[in-house]
């Protein structure tokens, strides 16, 4: 495993990391999550991604319990959480990045995670109903109070990120250091076009999500929906159309042939392709079982196999697919 700087910050994150969306509290109980986190850790992962809203707080509780029992030195791992959607009802508890919500939410997350601080905290989506300046001050205060070390955004427009950064610069506040966007062979525009100038000028780091497009890029949906898969989960129904799309699955089949030539699986190829982008600080992987973690971590060895020739072959197959 290699470690990369999170943008222009001094923090080093493993180029592959491990997150808990969909899985913890739904597909994985504490003991299965422990097994997966241990496998990721053994492969060199130092960053574990989480969010308040994942399984309505249960994902943080499970991760907190695993971290407590693992006894890993706090200096050696990085944990994140994210705020926006909220998990309780009320005018200041849902779909907001206002000061009141943010400064309450962090305390509840830390309690569930059983941590004194999180390393990374993200504003999980933009909030059109709170001035960016209010959010920037709240994130700054969260850090000044020792509850988080770095803050960033997730799926904000480049324009809004720049606005937040400039407010922080003007008032000598903590600046947003990283953004967490979706990035995979079928979803590229935001990272490659919209955020690229921010990476260059502001030194923004990227912690990218869904490298396998929710499993599409493993090839598992080429002949329908397997019983034990994300698409088979009733509340994930919104993904069924994209996961079973014929044209997309034909592209995956062609990528699988290329992966075979390179001596890897198509999942490893897809993850390594994300990590091959130097603007990506870490590729957040997901898994519903330990065998997937082990396979996906093998992508580390595939990054170097993605020569300009291999990248050109990938581009020829999937270049037109990325939205
Ligand atoms: N900031 C955001 O808004 C945001 C949004 C989404 C995700 N994230 C973060 O990014 C992380 C990763 O996202 P993701 O889970 O969507 O990643 P992904 O890599 O696109 O999908 C992971 C899922 O694909 C399947 N899978 C993974 N490896 C496999 C393999 N080798 N063979 C077969 N199936 C495999 C598993 O689902 P099944 O086995 O159930 O099919 C697994 O849960 C999340 O955990 C979260 O931390 C952030």
Rounded Cα distance between 61 and 30, Å, is 9
Environment class of 37 (CB within 10 Å of its CB; exposed 0-12, middle 13-18, buried 19+): buried
Rounded Cα distance between 108 and 111, Å, is 5
Predicted local confidence at residue 307, as pLDDT: 97
What is the number of the ligand 1 atom nearest to the C-alpha of 122?
Answer: 1
Rounded Cα distance between 219 and 290, Å, is 18
186 Cα to the center of ligand 1, angstroms: 14
Catalytic residues: 54
What is the number of the ligand 1 atom nearest to the C-alpha of 82?
Answer: 1
Tokens 């922080």 -> residue: 168
Nearest CA, atom 30, ligand 1: 292
Predicted local confidence at residue 282, as pLDDT: 98
Predicted local confidence at residue 321, as pLDDT: 80
List ligand 1's pocket residues with C-beta within 6 A: 19-23, 27, 49, 154-155, 180, 209-215, 218, 220, 229-230, 267, 284-288, 292, 295-296
Query: Max CA-CA distance within the chain?
Result: 55
209 Cα to the center of ligand 1, angstroms: 8
Predicted local confidence at residue 261, as pLDDT: 97
Predicted local confidence at residue 299, as pLDDT: 98
Nearest CA, atom 5, ligand 1: 209
Per-residue pLDDT of the chain (323 residues; tens, 9 = 90+): 999 999 999 999 999 999 999 999 999 999 999 999 999 999 999 999 999 999 999 999 999 999 999 999 999 999 999 999 999 999 999 999 999 999 999 999 999 999 999 999 999 999 999 999 999 999 999 999 999 999 999 999 999 999 999 999 999 999 999 999 999 999 999 999 999 999 999 999 999 999 999 999 999 999 999 999 999 999 999 999 999 999 999 999 999 999 999 999 999 999 999 999 999 999 999 999 999 999 999 999 999 999 999 999 999 999 978 67
Predicted local confidence at residue 322, as pLDDT: 67
Query: 102, 136 in Cβ contact below 8 A?
Result: no
């Amino acid at each position: 495993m290699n470690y990369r700087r999170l943008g222009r910050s001094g923090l080093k994150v493993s180029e592959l990391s491990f997150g808990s969306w969909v899985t913890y509290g739904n597909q994985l109980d504490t003991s299965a999550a422990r097994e997966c986190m241990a496998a990721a850790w053994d492969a060199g992962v130092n960053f574990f991604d989480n969010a308040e809203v994942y399984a309505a707080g249960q994902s943080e509780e499970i991760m907190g319990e695993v971290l407590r029992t693992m006894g890993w030195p706090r200096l050696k791992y990085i944990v994140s959480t994210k705020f926006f959607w909220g998990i309780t009802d009320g005018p200041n508890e849902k779909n907001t990045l206002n000061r009141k919500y943010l400064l309450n939410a962090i305390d509840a997350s830390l309690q569930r995670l059983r941590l004194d601080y999180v390393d990374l905290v993200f504003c999980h989506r933009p909030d059109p109903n709170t001035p960016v300046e209010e959010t920037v001050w709240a994130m700054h205060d969260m850090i000044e109070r020792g509850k988080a070390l770095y803050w960033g955004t997730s799926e904000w427009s480049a324009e809004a990120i720049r606005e937040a950064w400039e407010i922080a610069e003007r008032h000598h506040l903590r600046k947003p250091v990283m953004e967490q966007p979706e990035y995979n062979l079928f979803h590229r525009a935001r990272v490659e076009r919209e955020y690229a100038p921010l990476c260059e000028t502001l030194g923004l780091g990227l912690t990218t999500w869904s490298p396998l497009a929710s499993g599409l890029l493993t090839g598992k949906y080429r002949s329908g929906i397997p019983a034990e898969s994300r698409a088979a989960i009733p509340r994930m129904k919104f993904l069924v159309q994209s996961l079973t799309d014929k044209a997309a699955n034909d592209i995956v089949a062609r990528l699988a042939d290329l992966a075979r030539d390179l001596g890897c699986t198509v999942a490893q190829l897809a993850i390594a392709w994300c990590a091959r982008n130097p603007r990506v600080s870490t590729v957040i992987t997901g898994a519903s079982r330990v065998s997937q973690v082990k396979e996906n971590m093998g992508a580390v060895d595939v990054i170097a196999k993605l020569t300009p020739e291999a990248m050109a072959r990938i581009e020829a197959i999937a270049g037109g697919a990325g939205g």
